[in-house]
Amino acid sequence: MVMDGLGDRAVKQLHWKTPLQAAVRPNLNWFAEHGSSGIVDIIGPGIRPGSDTSHLSILGYDPYKVYTGRGPIEAAGTGLVGKKGDVAFRCNFATVDDNMVVTDRRAGRIKEPDTTELVRPFDGMVIDGIKVVVKEATEHRAVLLLSGPGLSAKVSDADPHGSTKVHEVIPLEPEAKKTAKIVNAFVKKSYSLLNDHPVNLRRASEKQPVANILLPRGAGMFPEIVPFEEKWDMTGSCVAGVSLIKGIGRICGLDIVEVPGATGGLDTDMIAKAKASLQQLESRDFVLMNIKAADIAAHDGDAAKKVAVIERLDDMAGFLHATLPEDVVVAFVADHCTPIEMQDHSGDPVPLTIYCPGMVRDTGATFDEAAASQGGLGRIRGKDIMPILYDKAGRSEKFGA
Ligand code: ZN
Ligand code: ZN
């Protein structure tokens, strides 16, 4: 159970408590009292994780070996999983004028169903023998997947990240010349396919910004990754609302569970996700569940909102307390701290509580950053979580006689 961005620092307006300490959290505290806690350097001490690298680490992978950038993860989040050597990009639908100057980098925050229509003309596209697939993602975002031999991810962005002319994609190594040429051709082609597209003619008549170009950025090569089932000899599912986490799950070979009401936003239905996770455990050995809401509140710098989210997470923990089967081992953890003051991820360790019947119980424990640092699990790394869960579940083999 990954509570995204849950950990924090002492916040002045909360009388120097963390949002977790300030929240009313009887159910999370119950798990801390009846289980063991610790603090976790998800990647390493002082390393500031992204949500993608942190989840890889929690699943027992070394992000330094398997993480190749945001592109492949975002592509996998939309359902596009490439083979090793394929290159994926994140894209924005954007508005450019006749001189290829970006006038709106998000095309008026265009979304489905317009974006679904706009990707259709790209069906079956091949450039220089390389298969080109475009798929719409959340709001104004899309992904681009290039499949074929001789590709490289060492290319610059077409997205100028501002209101200037669309950038020409530059190869950053000699082997990337072909890829850069293909991406530049793709950007040009996107303009010619989209500029007069019926959706854009309609948007123009409604005085909405047209989405007349796709701007790729963040190239990454699909990694070769040992599937979760092979790595841990367990079947597994992923219950998440946000595309990035679904992408991580899909790249690792977890089954992605779509839960109605799991929005990935502040309004997400946490109980529905918990129910879906328990249901998965009837046929699967492992479930990774992610709830993004605390991270969103923290990026907004809103302490009161983060406290309110944590109290909803606690209600969800209460549901789990009431319904958890006896043979389940559960871990409550954050993927990184997102301090209110920073409005971004920090390198601080995160709290972890592991519970199953028969777990040695920490004395005087509550679920928060300070209490967790006094717990029996001590200070561990993200990659240590899976082996501990594995052992508690009675799955690990004895080393030696
Ligand atoms: Zn995160
Ligand atoms: Zn975040």
- Is there a cis peptide before residue 198, judged by omega within 30 degrees of 0? no
pTM above the 0.85 mark? yes
Give the mean pLDDT of 112-140: 95
Question: What distance in Å separates the CA atoms of residue 249 and residue 52, rounded to the nearest whole number?
Answer: 10
DSSP 399: S
188 and 302 inside one domain: no
On the question of pLDDT at 138 being above 90, the answer is: no
37 and 162 inside one domain: no
Q: CA 2 from chain center: how many Å?
A: 11
Ligand 2 centroid–CA 377 distance in Å is: 26
Identify the CA nearest to 52 among candidates 335, 350, 334: 335
Confidence grade of residue 50 (pLDDT, cut at 50, 70, 90): very high
Q: What is the pLDDT of residue 18?
A: 98
Ligand 1 centroid–CA 141 distance in Å is: 19
Confidence grade of residue 14 (pLDDT, cut at 50, 70, 90): very high
Last residue of a domain, one of 200, 221, 242: 221
Ligand 2 centroid–CA 113 distance in Å is: 27
C-alpha dihedral (57, 36, 8, 343), degrees to nearest 10:
30
Ligand 1 centroid–CA 385 distance in Å is: 17
285 and 202 inside one domain: no
Q: What is the pLDDT of residue 13?
A: 96
212 and 297 inside one domain: no
Residue 243 exposed, middle or buried by CB count within 10 Å (0-12, 13-18, 19+): buried
Ligand 2 centroid–CA 309 distance in Å is: 15
Ligand 2 centroid–CA 390 distance in Å is: 28
Confidence grade of residue 28 (pLDDT, cut at 50, 70, 90): very high
Ligand 2 centroid–CA 296 distance in Å is: 7
| Pair 170, 180: CB distance under 8 Å | yes
| Pair 28, 333: CB distance under 8 Å | no
| Largest separation between any pair of C-alpha atoms in the chain | 77
49 and 81 inside one domain: no
Ligand 2 centroid–CA 183 distance in Å is: 29
Q: What is the pLDDT of residue 164?
A: 95
Residue 40 in domain: yes
262 and 349 inside one domain: yes
357 and 280 inside one domain: yes
Identify the CA nearest to 216 among candidates 342, 123, 61, 93: 93
Give the mean pLDDT of 207-228: 95
Q: What is the number of the ligand closest to the CA of 298? A: 2
Q: What is the number of the ligand closest to the CA of 344? A: 2
195 HSE (CA, 13 A, CB side): 11
Task: Give the domain range for residue 290.
Answer: 2-67+226-392
pLDDT in tens, 357-382: 999 999 989 999 999 999 999 999 99
Q: What is the number of the ligand closest to the CA of 339? A: 2
pLDDT in tens, 57-84: 999 999 999 999 899 999 999 999 999 9
Ligand 2 centroid–CA 297 distance in Å is: 9
110 and 62 inside one domain: no
239 and 193 inside one domain: no
Residue 56 in domain: yes
Ligand 1 centroid–CA 162 distance in Å is: 26
Contacts of 279 (CB under 8 A, 6+ apart): none
Give the mean pLDDT of 199-213: 96
Ligand 1 centroid–CA 242 distance in Å is: 10
Give the mean pLDDT of 157-179: 96
DSSP assignment of 153-177 equals S-B--S--SSSSBPPPP-BSSGGGH
Ligand 1 centroid–CA 202 distance in Å is: 38
Residue 346 in domain: yes
How many domains, the chain?
A: 2
19 and 91 inside one domain: no
112 and 49 inside one domain: no
On the question of pLDDT at 384 being above 90, the answer is: yes
Pairing of strands 130-136, 141-147: antiparallel
237 and 386 inside one domain: yes
Q: What is the number of the ligand closest to the CA of 245? A: 1
The CATH number linked to 55 is: 3.40.720.10
| Pair 234, 228: CB distance under 8 Å | yes
Question: What distance in Å separates the CA atoms of residue 369 and residue 107, rounded to the nearest whole number?
Answer: 41
Residue 400 in domain: no
Residue 397 in domain: no
Q: What is the number of the ligand closest to the CA of 338? A: 2
Q: What percent of the chain has a predicted confidence (pLDDT) above 70? A: 100
Q: What is the pLDDT of residue 185?
A: 98
Identify the CA nearest to 310 among candidates 10, 12, 15, 22: 22
Give the mean pLDDT of 87-105: 96
Identify the CA nearest to 252 among candidates 389, 67, 126: 67
Last residue of a domain, one of 162, 193, 221: 221
Read off the tokens for 197.
């597209």
Residue 150 in domain: yes
Last residue of a domain, one of 221, 247, 267: 221
Ligand 2 centroid–CA 3 distance in Å is: 11
Residue 22 in domain: yes
Contacts of 143 (CB under 8 A, 6+ apart): 71, 74, 75, 77, 78, 80, 88, 89, 90, 91, 134, 135, 137
Read off the tokens for 401.
């006689």
Across the chain, mean pLDDT equals: 96
